[in-house]
Amino acid sequence: MNRIKQKLQEDKKILSIYFSAGYPNLDDTVKIIHDLETSGVDLIEIGLPFSDPLADGPTIQESSTAALKNGMNTALLFEQLKDIRKTVSIPLILMGYFNPVLQYGVEEFCAQCEEIGIDGLILPDLPLDVYKEEYEDIFKKHGLINVFLITPQTSDERIKAIDDASEGFIYMVSSASTTGAKQGFGSEQSEYFNRIANMELNNPQIVGFGISNAETFEQATQKAKGAIIGSAFIKHLTANGVNAIDDFVKQIR
């Protein structure tokens, strides 16, 4: 069974951490993954850096730019990850923009992911209809879960269509924003969290954007299955380097 699906069956709230591969240093990727696993994180999203990350706020823009400057690219990331399954068992997701995947070749990209032991992909600018028409078969053939996003503006009808097309979890963007833009949640978010919870979707939801500490993690996971931290973790890496990852995770839960 796909490691993501297995993890989602556990009776606990999921803590997922995002980082940009190749940041702060080109060769930190494997160490970051190891340390996140040993400190008790449930799921890891490895960011494939892109020159024009239009859904991201300044923090992830900067880490992406720095990673590219450090020399990160798709082929190198696959190279760094080739033995990762010898030492870690945590579910791994690659998150990035569609163009680098398209240039690598979607079929080859998915085949590489399978060989390495990647469990899923999040490609925010690969739209639902294009995925279904052109790529779903390829993703499935290679055992990859494709994760879709929903936002407070997504209509119920579309959420249902996304739920039907999903087979893992739904990435619930907490507010109308780019990553790292908002701090904390207000009444608008609780309404949205309730609305989605009441829809009784087939797939569990994991909340992302705007989660930075124990309090926001707790708020986000009252209804949802889990939450994702990105910008706050990257800021931690910027300030403390890669040697204090455990400290960061421990302050979340």
Partner 1 sequence: MKSYHADERGYYGEFGGAFIPEMLYPNCEELRQNYLSIMEEPSFKEEFHQLLKDYVGRPTPLYFAKRLSERYNTKIYLKREDLCHTGAHKVNNTIGQILMAKKLGKNRIIAETGAGQHGVATATVCALMGIQCVVYMGEIDIARQAPNVARMKMLGAEVRPATSGSKTLKDATNEAIRDWINNPVDTHYIIGSVVGPHPYPDMVARFQSVISEEIKNQLQEKEGRENPDYVVACVGGGSNAAGAYYHYLDVPEVGIIAVEAAGKGIDSGESAATSALGKVGIIHGSKTLLMQTQDGQITEPYSISAGLDYPGVGPMHAHLYASGRGEFISITDDDAMKAGLELCKLEGIIPAIESSHALAIFEDRKFGPDDVVVVNLSGRGDKDLQNYIDYFKL
- Catalytic residue, from 45, 114, 119, 164: name it: 45
Nearer to partner 1 (CB atom), residue 40 or residue 127:
127
Tokens for 18, please give them.
């995002």
From the list 93, 1, 9, 113, the residue with the least C-alpha distance to 43 is 93
- Minimal distance, residue 98 CB to partner 1, in Å: 5
Instruction: List interacting residues with partner 1 (CB under 8 A).
Output: 50-58, 61, 65, 68, 73-75, 97-104, 124-127, 130, 148-151, 153-155, 158, 173, 176-178, 181
Q: What single letter denotes the amino acid at residue 98?
A: F
- Catalytic residue, from 28, 35, 42, 56: name it: 56
Nearer to partner 1 (CB atom), residue 41 or residue 122:
122
CA distances (Å), origin 132, targets 34, 60, 135, 166: 34, 28, 6, 11
Annotated catalytic residue 133 = no
Nearer to partner 1 (CB atom), residue 71 or residue 241:
71
- Minimal distance, residue 106 CB to partner 1, in Å: 12
Nearer to partner 1 (CB atom), residue 54 or residue 199:
54
- Minimal distance, residue 133 CB to partner 1, in Å: 11
| Structure-token match 């936002």, residue found | 151
Q: What single letter denotes the amino acid at residue 195?
A: R
- Minimal distance, residue 12 CB to partner 1, in Å: 27
Annotated catalytic residue 56 = yes
Count of alpha carbons within 13 angstroms of residue 75, beta-carbon side = 4
- Minimal distance, residue 218 CB to partner 1, in Å: 25
Nearer to partner 1 (CB atom), residue 75 or residue 197:
75
Contacts 24+ apart (CB under 8 A), 62-65: 63/19, 63/20, 63/23, 63/234, 63/237, 63/238, 64/20, 64/23
Contact 137, 129 (CB under 8 A): no
From the list 48, 51, 54, the residue with the least C-alpha distance to 19 is 48
Within 10 A of 199 (CB to CB), how many other CB atoms are there? 13
Catalytic residue ranges: 45, 56
